[in-house]
Amino acid sequence: MAKHWGDFQYEIYLNGMTGAVPRLPTDLTRLEELAEHRLGPGPVGYVAGCAGDGSTARANRAALARRRIVPRMLRDVHERDLTVEVLGRVLPAPLALAPVGVLSIMHPDAEPAAARAAAAQGVPYILSSASSTPMEQVAEAMGDAERWFQLYWGKDREVTRSFLARARAAGFSVLVVTLDTPLLSWRPRDLDQAYLPFLHGVGTANYFTDPAFRAGLAKPVQEDPNAAVLHFLGLFGDAGHTWPDLAFLREHWDGPIVLKGILHPDDARLAADAGVDGVVVSNHGGRQVAGSVAAADALPRVAEAVGDRLAVLFDSGVRTGDDAFKALALGARAVLLGRPYVYGLGLDGQAGVEHVIRSLLAELDLTLALSGHATPLTVTASDLLETGA
């Protein structure tokens, strides 16, 4: 019998009989406000922050809210199974943790804690290139649990080659190449506080431990850390890459490749033509292009263009189980969870991340059941009604 994620509610109620209540809210939309109160303004500002006036992040939420679930009755949903197959892997639920860098600004346990939480729940963890802990240490914290590596595809080919070899050796099985961040966008909240984690050396761990990166420095990192940070800022992204350059990554990575940050159906077709295995429909949580299309509005067009050729994943704005349901209905095979788990980490470390994963999947399981679905695989566009609200 498959696991019923929704049973988490009974665990909470039963714990409550002995006076134990969850340490974090079970309505995950409340986490940001709580984090704003409890965590430092610079770090929370960085996580909550957006490009420009924040209109893209608001549009992400509005595009999900505008679509309403139309539940179906009298279908047998007694036994449910949230398992899905993604990129040749069987996942216990259509969820992975999105790559988020610099997690030590949220909690000293940083990426290893988030990775352990994902591993404990069986959810894939996607480690950012810009993590505050070297990839080998994160891998060690995870045992043999499913882990994917997110690449910031920078200017130095040797560093890229070295990252791919290190990630492979450390057991990362899928390569997620982020295309929407060759440059950092205009982010007023960070600018107004003059706060950027990298300037404090946070997020550079994979680089500072990398032989190819170190070879490009005039002096060792310890002797001139500021120069090392500037070198990192100069090479983490490359705004000169074009589609044919993907061949280099294909040549140096023999597992599945997923392109993150796809919004236009023509780009999705180019991705399929380039021979990659999947895309993440994402606008980086509204952090890159202010005024950009909401990710949920872009999703159906991308799914229609390449859904039969590529694994279509989705992020940007997922906060609750019903958001995940809607993304599945719009054509995603699985969703990536971003800010909510980062706030969970900031507020309660590994336990906070596990609380967020379990709450979201419990809500998804119950939403599926109450809408007439025993599996995510039967959810389609006809389960949604687009409203003006």
Ligand X SMILES: CCCCC(=O)C(=O)O
Binding residues for glyoxylate: 46, 152, 187, 260, 284, 287
Nearest approach, Cβ of 28 to ligand X (angstroms)?
A: 20
User: How many binding residues for ligand X (CB under 6 A)?
Assistant: 7
Of residues 100 and 334, the one with the C-beta less far from ligand FMN:
100
CA distances from 155 to 77, 95, 231 (A): 51, 31, 11
Nearest approach, Cβ of 180 to ligand X (angstroms)?
A: 9
What string marks each residue from 240 to 279 as x (binds ligand X by CB under 6 A) or -? ----------------------------------------
138 binds ligand X (CB under 6 A): no
Q: Are 353 and 118 in contact, with CB atoms under 8 Å apart?
A: yes
Q: What does 104 interact with, of ligand FMN, ligand X, none (CB < 5 to 8 A by kind)? A: none
116 binds ligand X (CB under 6 A): no
Interface of this chain with ligand X, residues 13 to 72, rule: CB under 6 A: none
Task: Give 252-256 contacts, CB < 8 A, sequence gap 24+.
Answer: 252/160, 252/161, 252/164, 252/165, 253/164, 253/168, 253/175, 254/168, 255/168, 255/173, 255/174, 255/175, 256/87, 256/88, 256/173, 256/174, 256/175, 256/311
End-to-end CA distance of the chain: 40
Q: What does 63 interact with, of ligand FMN, ligand X, none (CB < 5 to 8 A by kind)? A: none
Of residues 121 and 288, the one with the C-beta less far from ligand FMN:
288
Where do contacts with ligand FMN occur on this chain (CB under 6 A)? 46-47, 98-101, 128, 130, 150, 178, 260, 282, 284-285, 287, 315-318, 338-339
356 binds ligand X (CB under 6 A): no
What is the rounded CA–CA span in Å between residue 389 and residue 66?
5
Nearest approach, Cβ of 184 to ligand X (angstroms)?
A: 6
101 binds ligand X (CB under 6 A): yes
What is the rounded CA–CA span in Å between residue 41 and residue 57?
19
Burial of 147 (0-12, 13-18, 19+ CB in 10 A): buried
Nearest approach, Cβ of 315 to ligand FMN (angstroms)?
A: 4
Which parts are annotated binding residues?
46, 99-101, 128, 150, 152, 178, 187, 260, 282, 284, 287, 315-319, 338-339
CA distances from 325 to 84, 210, 213 (A): 13, 40, 42
Active site residue 284: yes
333 binds ligand X (CB under 6 A): no
Angle (CA) 45 47 53, round 5°? 65
Of 67, 147, 260, 284, the one binding ligand X (CB under 6 A) is 284
Q: Are 312 and 1 in contact, with CB atoms under 8 Å apart?
A: no
Residue numbers annotated as active site: 284
* Residues near ligand X, by CB under 6 A: 101, 130, 181, 184, 236, 284, 287
